């Protein structure tokens, strides 16, 4: 459910017509809907109603400061995986007590930044990292609430590049070794064990892997309590999938996910943290591009866009599907054409879709990629020296550029040529 709909034949973001934004900022660009972001956060918050809980938005999905402020103002916590994300959450006004620090390789410098600024908890992913955190905490004279991320060895049945809960993945401590790791952690003078953390992957379209993982977490929690640890928080990660294809069956709803949480860990009396990213931001964003050329190839037509894999890498990186729609609704009854939809980057991988069925598209036409609000702008690069594309936030009938497109001069000015050359 989002707020990108056709009105009088024109695609709108809430009450703003997409061509109006295109006329102001040029193409390509990302546009986010505030109402959709708010709605998705609320749906998660409601899904855990009645349980003590905090929804910690996974900042890496879309880390624009305006998006973080909007969610933070609704009471969201934040899940960060780097000092940069931590500082973004703070800059958006989110207090340290609502920020959780995840990630498989936090450096001592990153730990120091988070401890100095205040942090709700650090999710540890290995014994050496635990020892490093003890050192940093001790040098600052603070005590840090920690959980240990356990790897439950569960198949999340998602794309291999975003599965994180199998024993072959780099994430977490194998659950079989967890009790030992908790013992060592609890013995550190500056670390305070508060809970258990798990995150099994992203774009999950089935609740069964969650049920399996959370059941293992519940068992572990009982064992850890029997070992004398005070386990008062469970961080259950993120990963709930979104419908990228309107024609496909929809993934489970947050409410059904909430029911699994209740069923598996509800009896433990823990405060529940969840870390959704994609489900909050994904369908809250479009990427809008313009056709540069329509080129006739051998037995196929290419739509060559002004957007490319550097702007939206998901199709090239994860073989991801994005629904692609015209901004001006075509007249009904037009015969569909098949297009290979590509960008101008010098890689064959710069292909958004093959043989995609669309009403005829001409040069200069605007088209929109749906479900581009998560893992879109944040993964963009300036490959082929294409400046990062701007981001726009719409709220009702108003819109604002929330990250401007750099000029060519600004892009070049980031390099420096040494004076000895």
Ligand X SMILES: *Cc1c(COP(=O)(O)O)cnc(C)c1O
Stretch that binds ligand X, among 86-94, 271-279, 301-309, 322-330 (CB under 6 A): 271-279
Helices (H), 153-207: 178-186
Residue 108 is encoded by which pair of tokens? 């001592």
- Residue closer to ligand X (CB basis): 57 or 399: 57
Nearest distance from C-beta of residue 25 to ligand X, angstroms: 26
Stretch that binds ligand X, among 8-16, 19-27, 273-281, 294-302 (CB under 6 A): 273-281
- Residue closer to ligand X (CB basis): 171 or 369: 171
Residue 73 is encoded by which pair of tokens? 């103002």
Nearest distance from C-beta of residue 282 to ligand X, angstroms: 8
Q: Is the peptide bond before 216 cis (omega within 30 degrees of 0)?
A: no
Determine phi and psi for 100, rounding to 5 degrees: -105, 135
The CA radius of gyration of the chain, in Å to the nearest whole number, is: 23
- Residue closer to ligand X (CB basis): 28 or 277: 277
Helices (H), 141-290: 178-186, 208-226, 254-265, 278-281
Question: Does residue 85 touch ligand X according to CB under 6 A?
Answer: no
Beta carbons within 10 angstroms of residue 169's beta carbon: 16
- Strand, coil or helix: what is 63? coil
Question: Does residue 148 touch ligand X according to CB under 6 A?
Answer: no
Nearest distance from C-beta of residue 241 to ligand X, angstroms: 7
* The 3-state secondary structure of 388-407, one letter per residue: CCCEEEEECCEEEEEECCCC
Question: Does residue 100 touch ligand X according to CB under 6 A?
Answer: no
Question: Does residue 283 touch ligand X according to CB under 6 A?
Answer: no
x/- track of binding to ligand X for residues 222-261 (CB under 6 A):
---------------xxx----------------------
Question: Does residue 61 touch ligand X according to CB under 6 A?
Answer: yes
What is the residue whose two structure tokens read 């949480």? 261
Residues in CB range of 74: below 8 A, 6 or more apart: 38, 41, 42, 45
- Residue closer to ligand X (CB basis): 25 or 196: 196
Nearest distance from C-beta of residue 162 to ligand X, angstroms: 7
Task: Name the nearest CA neighbour of 20 among 406, 327, 374.
Answer: 327
Question: Does residue 373 touch ligand X according to CB under 6 A?
Answer: no
- Residue closer to ligand X (CB basis): 239 or 390: 239
Closest residue to ligand X, based on beta-carbon distance: 277
Nearest distance from C-beta of residue 307 to ligand X, angstroms: 22
- Residue closer to ligand X (CB basis): 238 or 326: 238
Distances from the Cα of 259 to the Cα of 39, 50, 115, 196, 254, angstroms = 19, 12, 34, 19, 9
Question: Does residue 195 touch ligand X according to CB under 6 A?
Answer: no
| Single residue of 40, 53, 199, 314 touching ligand X by CB under 6 A | 199
| Single residue of 14, 275, 311, 365 touching ligand X by CB under 6 A | 275
Question: Does residue 147 touch ligand X according to CB under 6 A?
Answer: no
Question: Does residue 202 touch ligand X according to CB under 6 A?
Answer: yes
The DSSP bridge pattern shows strands 271-274 and 233-235 to be parallel
346 is catalytic: yes
- Residue closer to ligand X (CB basis): 239 or 343: 239
Stretch that binds ligand X, among 84-92, 175-183, 274-282, 308-316 (CB under 6 A): 274-282
Beta bridge partners of 56: 77
Question: Does residue 60 touch ligand X according to CB under 6 A?
Answer: yes
Distances from the Cα of 234 to the Cα of 48, 346, 369, angstroms = 13, 46, 36
Given 346, 409, 416, 421, which residue is catalytic?
346
Measure the CA–CA gap between 105 and 383, rounded to whole angstroms: 26
Residue 150 is encoded by which pair of tokens? 């356990």
Nearest distance from C-beta of residue 23 to ligand X, angstroms: 32
Distances from the Cα of 88 to the Cα of 95, 99, 127, 340, angstroms = 11, 11, 28, 38
Residues that bind ligand X (CB under 6 A): 58, 60-61, 79, 81, 102, 199, 202, 237-239, 275-279, 374
Report the catalytic residues.
346
């Amino acid at each position: 459910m989002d707020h990108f709909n056709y009105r009088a034949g024109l695609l709108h973001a809430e009450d703003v017509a997409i061509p109006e934004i295109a006329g102001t900022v040029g193409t390509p660009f990302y546009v986010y809907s505030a109402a959709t972001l708010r709605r998705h956060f609320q749906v998660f918050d409601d899904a855990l109603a009645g349980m003590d809980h905090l929804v910690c938005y996974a900042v890496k999905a879309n880390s624009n400061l305006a998006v973080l402020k909007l969610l933070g103002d609704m009471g969201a916590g934040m899940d960060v995986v780097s000092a940069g994300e931590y500082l973004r959450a703070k800059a958006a006004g989110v207090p340290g007590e609502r920020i959780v620090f995840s990630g498989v390789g936090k450096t001592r410098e990153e730990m120091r930044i988070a401890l100095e600024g205040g942090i709700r908890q650090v999710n540890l992913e290995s014994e050496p990292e635990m020892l490093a955190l003890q050192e940093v905490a001790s040098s600052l004279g603070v005590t840090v609430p920690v959980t240990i991320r356990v790897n439950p060895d569960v198949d999340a049945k998602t794309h291999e590049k975003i599965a994180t809960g199998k024993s072959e993945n780099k994430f977490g401590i194998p659950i079989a070794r967890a009790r030992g790791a908790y013992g060592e952690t609890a013995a550190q003078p500056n670390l305070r064990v508060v809970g258990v953390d798990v995150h099994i992957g992203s774009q999950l379209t089935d609740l069964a892997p969650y049920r399996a993982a959370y059941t293992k977490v519940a068992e572990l929690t009982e064992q850890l309590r029997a070992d004398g640890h005070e386990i008062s928080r469970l961080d259950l990660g993120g990963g709930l999938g979104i419908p990228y294809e309107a024609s496909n069956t929809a993934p489970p709803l947050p409410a059904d996910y909430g029911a699994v949480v209740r069923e598996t860990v509800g009896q433990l009396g823990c405060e529940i943290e969840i870390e959704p990213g994609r489900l909050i931001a994904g369908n809250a964003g479009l990427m809008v591009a313009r056709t540069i050329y329509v080129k006739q190839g051998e037995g196929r037509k290419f739509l060559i866009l002004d957007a490319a894999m550097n702007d939206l890498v998901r199709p090239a990186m994860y073989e991801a599907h994005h629904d692609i729609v015209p901004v001006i609704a075509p007249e009904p009854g037009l015969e569909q054409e098949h297009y290979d939809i590509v960008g101008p980057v010098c890689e064959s991988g710069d292909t958004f879709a093959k043989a995609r069925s669309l009403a005829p598209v001409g040069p200069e036409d605007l088209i929109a990629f749906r479900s581009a609000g998560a893992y879109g702008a944040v993964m963009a690069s300036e490959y082929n020296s294409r400046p990062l594309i701007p981001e726009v936030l719409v709220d009702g009938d108003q819109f604002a550029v929330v990250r401007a497109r750099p000029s060519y001069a600004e892009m070049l000015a980031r390099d420096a040529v040494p004076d000895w050359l």
